[in-house]
Structure formats: structure tokens, C-alpha cells
Amino acid sequence: MKRSLAAVTALMLALTGCSSGGDADESGPISLSLAGWSLATTPEFQKLADGFKAAHPDIAVELKEYDAKNYDTQMIADLAAGKAPDIYVQKNLKNFYTYQDGKQLLDVSDVAAKLGSEVGGLSGYQVDGKTWAIPYRADSWVLYYNKALFDKAGVKHPDGSWTWAEYAATAKELTTKLKAAGDKALGTYQHNWQSTVQGPALAQTAGASLDSGNFAFLKPYYETALDLQTAGAQVGLGDVTTNSLTYQAQFGKQSAGMMIMGSWYIATLLSQQEKGDADTFEWGIAPMPQLTKDTTGTSAVPVTFGDPTGLGVNPKISERKIQAAKDFLAYAAGPDAAKALAGIGSTPADTAAAADTIFALKGVPTDELSKFTFTKHDTKPENPVSKHTAPLQNILNDLHTAVLSGSKPIDAAITEAQDRAKNEVLK
């Protein structure tokens, strides 16, 4: 039987007695180690390190790079082996409970107590009245679209009023008209993550809950995804996996007219366009398509999803470095880091001044819909904090692969996932 990440984590962390994070030299300047991933295309980690260093010149910050796809697996292994960095990222809320329950996070309630109310996502890291990580980024998922491809096809731009049916119809229309214009780009791109289907389904469906073990709410969203694959309006899951397609290249190299992705991609796209790793073209963002018309239009608040991204302190850190690590967390969640992150297009946890800073950047769209999309949304958690979340998401990832690969019909895959949830997790 395949073990869940949570089960493997618990076993590994229970068996290890190794310490980590200690200084080889317990005297002299303090040097903190910080986890990150995809450093060449994800500038936020270096930006945080540089900003903290400027404010604390006597403290060095060294980055340790992990693989983005296997981040949690690698981090768990490093924690168990005593090789984990002093400060490490809670990439999303899926595995936060596992880290916290496994006693792999230092209590940082004192840092949280000094943060302003404008810092979003803090409650997701609170357990039993204590805070175990500090958010520095708060992303929401939106619809990116290529204005140039829409214009080339003669298709009307998104206006914030779309349901999923209208989104699918536009993706098909865009594909057909681009082909007629001699362009091979497809109408949309859906990356192979389960988030692209299950995230909006959980957020937008009234009463939907992972812990309920009832996953019927996923069906209409998978029907839309399969319809787009069958129509040839988006790449199929098999091709995404076999050809190792990246969402950055699919949108950035204009192979797709639309893409649903998190707001963190703004920073990546700007960076890649500046370096020449992405084409130069006009783009915009629009609200995530909605389940019903009730939450569409600029007079409503569109429903989307996203988890905060936080920083935690390795509890095995050297005693002399604890305060420096806490100071780093406070900086990362504060106004100076917020402005620095916004300056590269990232969405900081402190959003007070983020919008003005981001929309002043060269290359960021300044149309009213893009501004509305960035500032107005009801963002639900992708991974509600629970001891069941990680194992349930692993089961739902299997459902995702089975459905989009065509190996199981939607109803059969949902039934199987519900049975597994009941017998393996919720028993």
C-alpha cells in the first residue's frame, strides 16, 4: 500500500534524533540558512535575503535550493537527517499540520503578536493558541490571458463576467480562430496540478469540504476539463506529463491564449520577459471563472482560492541564532519586505501598499479589470488546516490523474476516492 506523505513524515521524524541548523563555529558572525526553490526563476527568496541583509548587515543569509515539485519530500528528508536549513518555507497549507504535529517548527507566537492586522493568512498557522509559521506571501488564483492572441483571433477579451461554461466556450472559439489565422496556440492551458481543477471546485461549491469525504462537488469541474481536452482547446494531461511541459513556457512562449494560475506568476512572467526567456506581448488578468453568475462582474466579489506561503524556524536551530531567525520572519512579513516583494510582482502577506507598487512596474497591465482582479476577491484556502488534509489530498491527486488521463470515468474515480477516504483516512 502506498504510504501518504504524512505517514512517511511521522515515521521519519520519529526515528531521527539528529539535530540540524547548528553553527560549525559557535562564535563570530551569525549566518542563517534559508530554503527556496527554482531560484533562477523565483526571485523572491534572494529579494528577502538581500533586504534583510541590508537592515541587518551583521547577519548573513545563505540560500539552499530545493526542487519545486518535490520540495516537501526533500525537506522532510533533510529534517530527518539533520540537514534542514534554519528557516524553511511552508509552501502551502497542505503539509503544515504534518510539520507542526511532528514538532518540526519553533513556536513563533512572539513574532506574530507584533504583526499588524493587514498581514493576511496568519490564522492558517495557528494551532492550540500558538503560531508556528509566519506568512510572507498571500496569493490568489486568477485567469491570465494573452491580449495579442485574443486580438489576432478577433475574440472579445475577458470582462469578469464568465462562468466556467463561458470560459470553456471562449477557449474553444479562440483555438478555432487562431488555427484559421495560422497560429498553433491553443485556447487555454491547464497545468497537471490537481489544484487547477480541485482548488476552484472546493472554493466555489457551497458546503464542499474535504473532511466530509464527499467529493461529488468535483464532477462539474472535471467535466469542463475533459471537454476542453477532447475539443483540443487545451493540452491533455498525458502530453503535459510526457513532454514535461511547464506552465511558464506554455503561456510565456504564447502556446496558449489563457491560463489559470496563482498571482505569484506575475513576478515570474515579468522576470522571464525581461530576460528574454518569455516572449514580449501584452497580457492581462481576469477573475477566475465562477460556478454561478452570482459572483461575476465587477460589482460582485469573485470567489477564488489560494494558500498563504509562510516561513517557519527549524526547532533544532542553534540557540544563538533563534532571535536572528525570528527577526528574519518579522522582516519578511513586514512593510519593507512587502514593498520589495511587490516590486518584483509578488503578492505579499502585507497587502496595504502592494497594489500601487505592483501596477507601477514596467510590463504589468494597468487596465481596470486587471486592477480589480488583483484587489477584489474572496480567497478560500486550498488546503484547510486539518490532520486529514495531506492524506486526503494525496487520494484526490490519484483521482485527478485517473480522470484526466482517461483511465477512469469521473463517477467511478469519485466513488473510489470516497471509499479510500473513508477506509484509509476518516476511519
Q: Is residue 106 within 8 Å of residue 322, measured between CB atoms?
A: yes
DSSP 94: T
Same domain flag for 179 and 265: yes
Cβ distance 153 to 257 under 8 Å?
A: yes
Any domain includes 128: yes
Q: Do 122 and 85 share a structural domain?
A: yes
Question: How is residue 59 annotated by DSSP?
Answer: E
Q: Which residue has the cell 497594489?
A: 355
| 185 and 220 inside one domain | yes
Q: Contact 287/302 with Cβ under 8 angstroms?
A: yes
State residue 7's pLDDT score.
52
Determine contact, residues 87/328, Cβ cutoff 8 Å.
yes
Burial (CB < 10 A; 0-12, 13-18, 19+), residue 256, is buried
Q: Are residues 297 and 355 in the same domain?
A: no
Rounded distance between C-alpha atoms, residue 257 and residue 152, angstroms: 10
In a domain, 89, yes or no: yes
**CA-to-CA distance for 156 and 284, rounded, in angstroms?**
13
CB 289 within 8 A of CB 199: no
3-class DSSP string for 144-172: EEEHHHHHHHCCCCCCCCCEHHHHHHHHH
- CA 310/CA 87 separation, integer angstroms: 10
In a domain, 10, yes or no: no
One domain, residues 135 and 146:
no
What pLDDT does 223 receive?
A: 98
- Are 151 and 287 found together in one domain? yes
Does a structural domain hold residue 43?
A: yes
Number of H helices, E strands in the chain: 18, 12
DSSP string covering 113-155, please?
HTS-TTBTTGGGGEETTEE--EEEEE--EEEEEEHHHHHHHT-
Q: Which domain holds residue 348?
A: 28-139+307-377
Give a yes or no: residue 18 inside a domain.
no
Measure the N-to-C terminal CA separation of the chain; round to a whole number of Å: 16
CB 308 within 8 A of CB 349: yes
One domain for residues 72 and 100: yes
Domain assignment present for 8: no
d(CA 335, CA 256): 36
> What distances in angstroms separate CA 165 from CA 104, 228, 272, 290, 403, one per listed residue?
44, 11, 32, 9, 19
Q: Is there a single domain that holds both residue 408 and residue 333?
A: no
Residues 153 and 292 in one domain: yes
Question: What is the CATH classification number for the domain harbouring 214?
Answer: 3.40.190.10
Residue 352 included in any domain: yes
Based on the domain organization, do 146 and 283 belong to the same domain?
yes
Same domain, 103 and 206: no
Closest CA to 283 of 343, 364, 357: 364
Please report how the helices 5-15 and 71-81 are oriented relative to each other, as an axis angle in degrees rounded to 10: 10
332 and 200 in a common domain = no
For the entire predicted model, the pTM comes to: 0.82
The answer to the question of residue 219 being in a domain is yes
At 46, list the grid cell.
534572494
Counted domains in the chain: 2
User: And the C-alpha cell for 413?
Assistant: 474515480
Q: At 37, phi and psi to the nearest 5?
A: -145, 160
Alpha-carbon torsion (361, 365, 366, 368), positive or negative? negative
Query: Mean pLDDT by 10-residue block, N- to C-terminus, for the chain (427 residues)?
Result: 48 46 63 96 94 97 96 96 97 92 97 88 91 95 98 98 98 98 98 97 97 98 98 97 96 98 93 95 98 95 95 97 98 93 89 80 95 92 92 97 98 98 96
Concatenate the DSSP letters of all residues of 318-350 into one string: -GGGHHHHHHHHHHHHSHHHHHHHHTTT--BSB
Question: What span, in angstroms and rounded, lies between the C-alpha atoms of 333 and 172?
Answer: 42
